Structure formats: structure tokens, C-alpha cells
């Protein structure tokens, strides 16, 4: 079983680009699923499921990420990388001032990651699109909620500096055990 490594951060901070590069290099990666849930909501006529039905969105997202975590336990690779983790769901609920179900909180104790890397807001790469409705200013606030949530859960998030995908990737890999 490999160590579980989370890449977290607010919207449009480079997480997915890093995960895609790690995947291309042959690392085992669990990809972000929130866009898929948002698109499924849009097919049902709900433009932003996260804003319209935050608890339903959060439950679907939490269960999907939990399934990713459980699936990763069968990995034979040294590391498994996650594009966001279970605590992200609770941090976003805190951002919306929505209480997290007690089942989420008990699962956060049960399903623990080994390393957490947080990508700070970076205005030069920030992009809004159909599924990413947050402004850059909101992204900075969300970053604070993510940092607070992970820290409260006993994690020590490692801040990834700005730079090229390769430089950021080298930084992350250099902070993992051999």
C-alpha cells in the first residue's frame, strides 16, 4: 500500500495540471470528480449544484472521494496522488457556512492521508469557466478555509511555490519519502 498524497488548494491553482503530469509519468492518481458531479447537476437543469443544493453536492462528492481513498488501498505503487481530499469537502461546506454531517467528520478521522500539499492562489494562472464559478478573491478565501480545515485535522500542509509544472512537481516529489 502506497502513501496517500493530497494536492489541495483553492480553484485554479494548478492541482489538476500537476495530477495530469504525474499520471503521464506513470504515478497512480485519483482525479478530481467535482466537475463530473457539477455536469451531472447541469444535465438535471441545476446550473450550480454546489450553490443550489450544497448538501446533496457535498454528499456525492464526499462519497466519491471516499471510494477513491478505499480503492487506493489496493495500490502496489509507492505513492497514490489525489486531486483534492475528503477534508476539502468539509472546508468548502465551512466556506458556505453549511454544517458538515457527523458521518463526514468521523470518516475524516478514519480515512487519513500521509502527506498534504497545498497550492496557494496564483493570479497568473487563475481561470474561471463553466464549472468554476469562484472569482480569484473567493479563491483566496477558500484557500484559507482549506488550510484551516487540514490544520485542524492535524495535518501539516506543505505549501507548493509558484513555478512551472516541472518545478512544482520536483518540489512535491522531493518532499516525499524514498
Of the candidates 178, 169, 174, the residue with the CA atom closest to the CA atom of residue 7:
169
CATH number of the domain within which 156 lies = 3.40.50.300
| Residue with cell string 475528503 | 86
Instruction: Write down the mean pLDDT value for the chain.
Output: 86
Beta-sheet strands, E only, within 11-65: 28-30
Q: What confidence score (pLDDT) does residue 32 get?
A: 86
Range of the domain at 165: 3-174
- C-alpha–C-alpha distance, residues 38 and 57, integer Å: 8
Q: What confidence score (pLDDT) does residue 159 get?
A: 96
Alpha-carbon dihedral of residues 70, 71, 75, 77, nearest 10 degrees?
Answer: -90
Classify 26 in phi/psi space as left (phi over 0), alpha (psi -120 to 50) or beta.
left
- C-alpha–C-alpha distance, residues 10 and 66, integer Å: 20
- In the chain the first and final C-alpha atoms are separated, in Å, by 14
Judging by DSSP bridges, how do beta strands 158-159 and 115-119 pair with one another? parallel
pLDDT digits (tens, 9 = 90+) for 117-139: 999 876 676 565 555 566 767 87
pLDDT digits (tens, 9 = 90+) for 27-38: 999 988 877 776
Of the candidates 71, 64, 115, the residue with the CA atom closest to the CA atom of residue 89:
64
- C-alpha–C-alpha distance, residues 113 and 31, integer Å: 15
Strands of the sheet containing 3-9, edge to edge, are 28-30, 79-83, 3-9, 115-119, 158-159
The count of domains in the chain is 1
Cell numbers placing 132: 468554476
Amino acid at each position: 500500500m502506497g502513501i496517500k498524497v493530497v494536492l489541495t488548494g483553492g480553484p485554479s491553482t494548478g492541482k489538476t495540471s500537476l495530477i495530469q503530469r504525474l499520471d503521464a509519468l506513470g504515478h497512480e492518481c485519483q482525479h478530481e470528480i467535482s466537475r463530473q458531479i457539477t455536469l451531472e447537476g447541469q444535465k438535471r437543469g441545476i446550473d450550480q449544484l454546489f450553490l443550489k443544493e450544497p448538501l446533496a453536492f457535498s454528499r456525492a462528492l464526499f462519497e466519491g472521494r471516499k471510494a477513491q481513498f478505499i480503492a487506493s488501498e489496493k495500490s502496489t505503487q509507492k505513492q497514490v496522488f489525489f486531486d483534492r481530499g475528503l477534508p476539502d469537502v468539509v472546508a468548502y461546506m465551512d466556506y458556505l457556512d453549511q454544517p458538515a454531517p457527523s458521518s463526514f467528520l468521523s470518516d475524516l478521522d478514519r480515512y487519513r492521508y500521509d502527506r498534504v500539499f497545498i497550492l496557494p492562489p496564483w493570479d497568473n494562472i487563475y481561470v474561471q469557466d463553466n464549472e468554476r464559478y469562484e472569482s480569484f478573491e473567493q479563491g483566496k478565501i477558500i484557500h484559507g478555509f482549506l488550510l484551516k480545515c487540514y490544520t485542524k485535522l492535524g495535518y501539516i500542509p506543505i505549501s507548493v511555490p509558484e513555478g512551472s509544472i516541472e518545478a512544482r512537481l520536483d518540489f512535491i516529489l522531493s518532499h516525499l519519502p524514498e
